[in-house]
């Protein structure tokens, strides 16, 4: 059903947040006075109220979150599109044990909303392929996702 609103991730959405998927992250640029969207893939759900993701520490995403804590994440799941909104905190700008300079951001979920238009469903989710060394990509993905799950202040 379109436009249903929840306060937590459903079990199916929780599971999908822990799979390798394209996720669209929206932050707000105070400088440009507009929302900015980025595609990300390093994301994990810790529980039904908390999501973490990693981005390059040079990304403007960090500056946007420092200015405006509110973010939204949109992803395909269960033949529909969900938008997850909440308040983001930058836990660290350098995740330990990761060869890239990545920041770890945590989102406290405020709202989960089915945003698919009425009378429709997603029949095929988008897929992507890594364009660099497949073995190196897998190794990096495992390290980053494990780092997101285990990071503590």
Task: Judge contact between 35 and 27, C-beta under 8 A.
Answer: yes
Q: What is the mean pLDDT of the chain?
A: 94
Instruction: Read off the pLDDT of residues 135-151 as tens digits, 9 standing for 90 and up.
Output: 999 999 999 999 999 99
pLDDT digits (tens, 9 = 90+) for 48-89: 999 999 999 999 999 999 999 999 999 999 999 999 999 999
Rounded distance, CA 101 to CA 25, Å? Answer: 19
In percent, the amount of the chain with pLDDT more than 90 equals 87
pLDDT of 19 > 90? The answer is yes
pLDDT tops 80 at residue 4: no
Q: What's phi and psi for 45, nearest 5 deg?
A: -100, 125
Nearest to 111 by CA among 23, 48, 30: 48
| 3-state SS class at 131 | coil
Entry pTM:
0.94
pLDDT tens-digit series, residues 94-107? 999 998 999 999 99
Q: What is the pLDDT of residue 3?
A: 64
**d(C-alpha 8, C-alpha 47), whole Å:** 9
CATH label, 5-150, candidates 3.40.50.970, 1.20.140.10, 2.30.110.10, 1.50.10.10: 2.30.110.10
Instruction: State whether the Cα torsion 44-69-34-100 is positive or negative.
Output: negative
């Amino acid at each position: 059903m379109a436009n249903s609103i929840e306060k937590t991730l459903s079990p199916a959405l929780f599971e999908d947040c822990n799979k390798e998927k394209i996720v669209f992250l929206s932050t707000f640029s105070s400088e440009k006075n507009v929302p900015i969207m980025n595609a990300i893939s390093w994301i994990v759900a810790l529980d039904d109220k908390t999501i973490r993701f990693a981005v390059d520490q040079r990304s403007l995403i960090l500056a946007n979150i420092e200015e405006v804590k509110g973010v939204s994440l949109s992803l395909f799941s269960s033949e529909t599109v969900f938008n997850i909104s909440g308040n983001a905190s930058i836990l660290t700008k350098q995740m330990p044990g990761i060869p890239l300079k990545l920041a770890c951001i945590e989102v406290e979920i405020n709202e989960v909303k089915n945003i698919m238009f009425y009378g429709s469903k997603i029949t095929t989710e988008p897929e992507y392929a890594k364009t660099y060394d497949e073995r190196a990509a897998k190794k990096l993905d495992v390290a980053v996702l494990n780092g997101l799950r285990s990071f503590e202040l």
